[in-house]
Structures are given as C-alpha cells and as structure tokens.
Amino acid sequence: MAENSGGIAIVGIGCRFPGADNIEEFWRVLSKGENHVNEIPLERWDMEAFYDEDADAPGKTYVRRAGLLKNYDKFDKRLFGINDQEAERMDPQQKFVLECVFMALQDGGITRENIRKSNTGVFIGVMNDDYSRLTSINDASNYSVTGASNSIMSARVSYVFDLRGPCMVIDSACSSSLIAIHLASQALLSGDCNMAVCGGVNALLTPTIFAQLSKARMLSRTGQCQAFSASADGYARGEGCGIVLVKRLSDAIKDGDKIWATIVTGTNQDGRAVTPMTAPSGEQQELLLKTVYKKAGIDASEIDYIEAHGM
C-alpha cells in the first residue's frame, strides 16, 4: 500500500451468516462452496399464503427461497446486561450486531474492560426494518421505541460496551455496509476516533419486501445470484451480520494487533448516468475503481481477484 494512502487495518472479525455462526464456520462454507439458500420455512411465514408464480399477483411473491440463519430467535441477553422484557422487544438485527461485535472483540484479543470509555466509533449499515412491521400498537411497551428503531442499531453497541466515539446508522440500500466502513475509515483518518466498529446487518422476518421486489422483477426465481451470466434472473435475498474492527494501520502495528488485512475505500453516486434509478452505471463504476486505485497507489495490472455484486 502506498505510503500516503492512510492505511486502515482490520484487527477483528465477527459474523453470523447462513450456515455459519462465526468466522471459522464461514471459511468452511466458502472453501467447500456450500449453498445455504433454502426453502423459506413455516417458522418465518406461511410461504403458500404469499407465493404466486405470477409476478404481478397482488400481495404475492414468486420467490420461495432465501439464505437464513439458524436459531435466529436465540439470544444470550444476560451476556449484554439486557433484561427479559427489553430482549422481547428488540429487533433481531440489534441482537445479531451485539453478538458479532462481541465475537470481533474476542477475535481481536480486546476485552470489554479494554474498550470501555474508549474513543471507539460505531458505524452500522442497515436498510430493512422487518421487525417494526410485525409490531402492533396494542402490544407496545416502554421498550418498543428503542427495540424497533433502526437508529438504535449502533447506539445499542455504544451503550452496551460504553463506547464514546461517533455513532451512527447508515442506510444507502445495498451499499450500506460498504459506506459504513468508508465513513469509519474517514473518521479514523480525521482523528474523530481511534478504533471503529463497523459492518452491516439484515434479518428477513416478513414477506413484504419479497413482494415489492418481485413486482420490480429484481429477485431470482431460482434463488441463485448468477452475476455476469446469461442465465442471471435477479438476486437471492439473505440475512446475517458481519462486523469488523478497524484501526489506523500505524496504530495496529504499534499495538501489536493481529492484522487480517489493510483496506482503502472510496464512494460515488451515479446521478442520472443511467435509467432507471436502480440500474448501476458501468462508467461510474470504472471511474470509482480508478480513483481508489490511484489513492492507494495500486497498479491495476497486479490485481488478482475482484469480488462483485450483481444480479
């Protein structure tokens, strides 16, 4: 990495993904090429009541499959000092984030006492609010406001671990997690915080968004993302949480941290370069790549691997 690139180091990772409850299990999923996109079970919702092959059927979805977590409704509330009544009113996304932050701290060899009262920022990407769609006004309690609010996704982390750095939730749709990491990196480089907790979370609890995305023809009927293929017919929805702890590279080296990787970030907006609004601009994507490579002092001809998202 170039000397003037302002290196950012990943010093801890925690995650829960379909088929994997931690980073070691996730590596197994990747290395073995496991596929954990399955039929949506009755414990989520009655698929037969909301399924229709006709994409235009009102209130229906043509999708039957998704990537889901096992034991999504299990939570060790005592570990985080949360009482029974409050835990009952918490969005599972908040629970996923707390669990993954705890795992990331363990992975980085950082204790709760070490991090308490520190200038650590929290940047969490989240765009969906399925849990709030399930709550009823007649079933509200004094914990309902914080339990169902997306803004609490990051504040809950700062509160539980007593962190004093900047704290925010980012919703930029599909790029929410990436923008969260970008903003965390900028906060580190500007001196707003000395370490940052960042990542993203998603939980699939209702068929509502499935129906909306079906109307837009964005979802794959096969339940598989086949980017860059003539067979591509949309994307598959999944849930989970990924959290990374990041520091300035110089601090990570000085502190003797385990460094997973170094990163450099960038961001852009397509404006009205393409139509419709949901379509990505190849031209703007290319410009962003060139900008990031230049910032990091990277020779594009030396890049061996690129990971991409697409339908």
Same domain, 232 and 305: no
Same domain, 276 and 260: no
pTM score, whole prediction: 0.94
The residues, any chain, with a CB within 8 Å of residue 99's CB and separated by 6 or more, are: 14, 16, 75, 76, 241
Strand 37-39 and strand 120-125: pairing? unpaired
Same domain, 59 and 148: yes
Q: Give how many domains the chain has, as a whole number.
A: 2
Same domain, 260 and 290: no
Separation of alpha carbons 113 and 91, rounded Å: 26
Catalogue the long-range contacts made by 231-237 (C-beta closer than 8 Å, 24 or more residues apart): 232/310, 232/311, 233/311, 234/311, 235/310, 235/311, 236/37, 236/65, 236/66, 236/67, 237/63, 237/66, 237/67, 237/204, 237/209, 237/210, 237/213
Q: Which helix (H) or strand (E) holds 247?
A: strand 240-248
Same domain, 144 and 261: yes
Residue given tokens 């919702």 in the structure block: 45
Report the CATH number at residue 107. Answer: 3.40.47.10
CB atoms within 10 A of CB 269: 10
pLDDT per residue rounded down to tens, the chain (311 residues): 433 346 899 999 999 999 999 999 999 999 999 999 999 999 999 999 999 999 999 999 999 999 999 999 999 999 999 999 999 999 999 999 999 999 999 999 999 999 999 999 999 999 999 999 888 787 889 999 999 999 999 999 999 999 999 999 999 999 999 999 999 999 999 999 999 999 999 999 999 999 999 999 999 998 888 888 899 899 999 999 999 999 999 999 999 999 999 999 988 888 999 998 888 898 998 999 999 999 889 999 999 988 877 55
